[in-house]
């Protein structure tokens, strides 16, 4: 803007020009999280790319940590080294491929292109594998706890059932003894009744005998008094 336009707008000439900053994307929480995650993934891929390039010159750097991505030891169709292609693959006692001449470990387990790709995704894949393994361990622990709880419940049920089985003969014995006592009390009560009747008969006989003796005594006394007269 020219000076007369600035003065007409009420702006001072000493402030200078103002720069307008454009926003690349709207300020949203989900978009911010997505951008952060994308930045982290790009950074990890960049680290993997550095590892892959270093592995082209140094084999120990290129093969470092690949056992986390591959199943080790693995069977080889052939040696990946150019000077060992004519040899058949040899293995040690643990199943690791060994050098056919030195009989030591240290041969390539994958080809160079495959190793390069694995190194690029190394820093992205390893955290995912660690998280998956941790989730599996937690899941297995939960399953083991559930199995232990179910086994304890089954054992408690078995204990209660065994106690019931052990109590059944005792109940049978008590019921049998109660029935036996009832059967035993029936003849005992009958025997007591018979003894009571016999004792009453014996007492009545004794009382009758006493009455007869008294009658005889009175009769004899009356006869004696008559003779005396």
For residue 116, what pLDDT is reported?
92
Q: Is the preceding omega at residue 153 within 30 degrees of 0, hence cis?
A: no
- Specify the residue for token string 């120990």: 60
As to burial, measured by CB atoms within 10 angstroms (0-12 exposed, 13-18 middle, 19+ buried), residue 66 is middle
For residue 144, what pLDDT is reported?
87
Other Cβ atoms less than 10 A from the Cβ of 61: the count is 16
Other Cβ atoms less than 10 A from the Cβ of 119: the count is 26
For residue 24, what pLDDT is reported?
62
pTM score, whole prediction: 0.50
- In the chain (229 residues long), the average pLDDT of successive 10-residue segments reads 65 56 66 90 94 89 86 83 85 86 84 90 91 91 86 72 53 55 55 76 81 74 58
CA terminus-to-terminus distance, the chain: 190
């Amino acid at each position: 803007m020219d000076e007369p336009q600035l003065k007409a707008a009420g702006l001072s000439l000493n402030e200078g020009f103002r720069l307008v900053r454009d926003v690349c994307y709207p300020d949203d929480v989900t978009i911010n999280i997505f951008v952060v995650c994308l930045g982290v993934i790009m950074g990890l891929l960049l680290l993997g790319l550095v590892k892959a390039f270093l592995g082209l010159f140094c084999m120990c750097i290129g093969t470092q940590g690949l056992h986390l991505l591959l199943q080790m030891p693995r069977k080889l169709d052939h040696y990946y080294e150019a000077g060992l292609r004519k040899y058949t693959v040899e293995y040690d006692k643990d199943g690791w491929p060994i050098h056919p001449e030195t009989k030591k470990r240290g041969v390539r387990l994958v080809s160079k292109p495959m190793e390069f790709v694995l190194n690029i995704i190394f820093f992205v894949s390893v955290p995912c594998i660690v998280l998956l393994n941790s989730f599996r361990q937690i899941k297995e622990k939960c399953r083991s706890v559930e199995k232990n709880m179910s086994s304890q419940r089954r054992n408690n049920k078995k204990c209660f059932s065994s106690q019931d089985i052990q109590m059944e003969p005792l109940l049978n014995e008590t019921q049998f003894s109660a029935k036996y006592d009832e059967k035993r009390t029936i003849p005992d009560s009958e025997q007591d009744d018979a003894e009571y009747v016999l004792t009453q008969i014996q007492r009545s006989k004794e009382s009758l005998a006493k009455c007869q003796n008294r009658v005889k005594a009175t009769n004899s006394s009356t006869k004696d008094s008559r003779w005396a007269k």
